[in-house]
Amino acid sequence: SSELTQDPAVSVALGQTVRITCQGDSLRSFYVSWYQQKPGQAPLLVFYGKNNRPSGIPDRLSGSSSGNTASLTITGAQAEDEADYYCNSRDSSGSHVVFGGGTKLTVL
């Protein structure tokens, strides 16, 4: 079982806003990173740290955190945002990295 919990699936209407969440005790102490993975492709880092978006990632993707919950918000979802999204962070022991189980985002 994962120490980071994500909803297995979320859907959003084209152009609407969706929030993908990641819960875990370690998030009270460590920053989360977010990854987008499309079928047959390697994961892609889309947001990390306190407020970092890698170059080339559209600014409609943003991250936030409060307490034991981190969120990835997609404002004005596009068809190309349909993918699996994973969060990760250091675990509570501090000596491992842990991934959430992933959220499959469907854009309707």
End-to-end Cα separation, the chain, in angstroms: 30
The binding site for another protein (CB under 8 A) comprises: 2, 30-33, 35, 37, 42-45, 48-49, 54, 84, 86, 88-90, 94-102
CB closer to another protein, 42 vs 79: 42
Do residues 23 and 11 touch, judged by C-beta distance below 8 A?
A: no
Do residues 83 and 77 touch, judged by C-beta distance below 8 A?
A: no
CB closer to another protein, 19 vs 101: 101
> Nearest distance from residue 14's CB to another protein, in Å?
26
> Nearest distance from residue 13's CB to another protein, in Å?
26
> Nearest distance from residue 48's CB to another protein, in Å?
5
Distances (CA, A) of 31 to 14, 37, 78: 29, 20, 26
How far apart are the C-alpha atoms of 9 and 20, rounded to whole Å? 9
